[in-house]
Amino acid sequence: MTTLPTARDVRTTPEGLRWEPSERWVRGRKGDVTVVDSRHPVLVWEPGVPVPAYAFPRKEVREDLLRPAKNPPAGAHTGSQIFYDLHVDGELLENAAWTFPSADLSDHIAFEWFLRTGKGLDHWYEEEEEIFIHPRDPHKRVDAIRSSRHVQVAIDGTVVADSHRPVLLFETGLPTRYYIPREDVRLDLLEATDRSTGCPYKGTAEYWSWRGEADVPPNVVWSYPDPLPAVGPIKGLLAFYNEEVDITVDGERLERPVTHFTRTPAKPPHD
């Protein structure tokens, strides 16, 4: 018996792309100009890229604002796609949009997101909620759960946090993060920095660095002062990179995980 694909099926193309339809209403803007207004977007995963992109039917894109790219980049995306420059209010945005080579997606156009690549559209919305950095992956889960575990954090042998009321954040593909109330953290040992990053699952983070001389990278501590509703319990709490500090939970010292954040917490986190 033949089974027809449903809206939640992930399809794979000969080029190695994975894609699936989305039922979300998505808009993309450059300044005050709406360039994309789509009720039929698709999510596309390129090989080796851990996060998805949106692609949109041409009829839901302002194609009158697009021109064939004058200087298309080589190897920027999967396959031999076509790139477009975007012309908005007298401003030229080179290679802001592209098509995928797959026949399945030949009638769709994808766009760069400014907060992810430094070019492209600067405001994106799913329904009435603004989203940042990249589309949220429907196959990825993020849960913020209050706990009574005893969590201690040490840097170079100094206990900098000690709490029996953490919030544990479980995120697909990442180590458990332990968010700790400020009252349980030695803030006198930390120094606020001017770093700020955005996460599509949690919101905008602020950072602290270790004041001491230990071999710890800068911006090793972060917090979300106004997180997205889905992770509301982490509001104002502080988390430390497990990769760079020593964390003990209920008397058991955790191994330091090795992730793409190891020794690089200056990168924008999705934690």
Number of neighbours of residue 218 by Cβ within 10 angstroms: 14
pLDDT at 271: 56
pLDDT at 119: 87
For 141-166, what is each residue's pLDDT tens digit? 999 999 999 999 999 999 999 999 99
Whether residue 99 has pLDDT greater than 50: yes
At residue 264 the predicted structure's pLDDT band, cuts being 50, 70 and 90, is low
> Rounded to 5 degrees, what are φ and ψ at 176?
-60, 130
| Fold held by 142-253 | 2.170.150
For 193-230, what is each residue's pLDDT tens digit? 999 988 999 999 999 999 988 889 999 999 999 999 99
At residue 263 the predicted structure's pLDDT band, cuts being 50, 70 and 90, is low
Higher pLDDT: 268 or 109? It is 109
pLDDT at 6: 54
For 50-94, what is each residue's pLDDT tens digit? 889 999 999 999 999 999 999 988 878 876 679 999 999 999 999
pLDDT at 87: 96
Is CATH 2.170.150.40 the right assignment for the domain spanning 11-131?
yes
* C-alpha to C-alpha distance for 120 and 108, rounded to whole angstroms: 17
pLDDT at 1: 41
At residue 117 the predicted structure's pLDDT band, cuts being 50, 70 and 90, is confident
* C-alpha to C-alpha distance for 196 and 254, rounded to whole angstroms: 28
The strand ranges marked E within 127-185 are 129-131, 142-146, 151-155, 158-163, 167-171, 177-179
pLDDT at 233: 98
Do 11-131 and 142-253 have matching folds? yes
Higher pLDDT: 71 or 267? It is 71
Greatest pairwise CA separation for the chain in angstroms: 67
For 6-28, what is each residue's pLDDT tens digit? 556 889 998 889 999 999 999 99
User: 202: closest CA among 168, 242, 231, 172?
Assistant: 231
Average pLDDT over residues 28-40: 97
Residues 6+ apart with CB under 8 A from 58: 107, 108, 109
Whether residue 181 has pLDDT greater than 60: yes
- The counts of H helices and E strands in the chain are 1, 23
CB 162 within 8 A of CB 257: no
Whether residue 245 has pLDDT greater than 80: yes
Whether residue 41 has pLDDT greater than 90: yes
* C-alpha to C-alpha distance for 95 and 109, rounded to whole angstroms: 12
Higher pLDDT: 188 or 268? It is 188
pLDDT at 123: 95
Average pLDDT over residues 116-145: 92
In the chain, what are the domain boundaries?
11-131, 142-253
SS3 128: coil
* C-alpha to C-alpha distance for 265 and 129, rounded to whole angstroms: 28
Whether residue 269 has pLDDT greater than 50: no
Residue 209, strand partner residues: 191
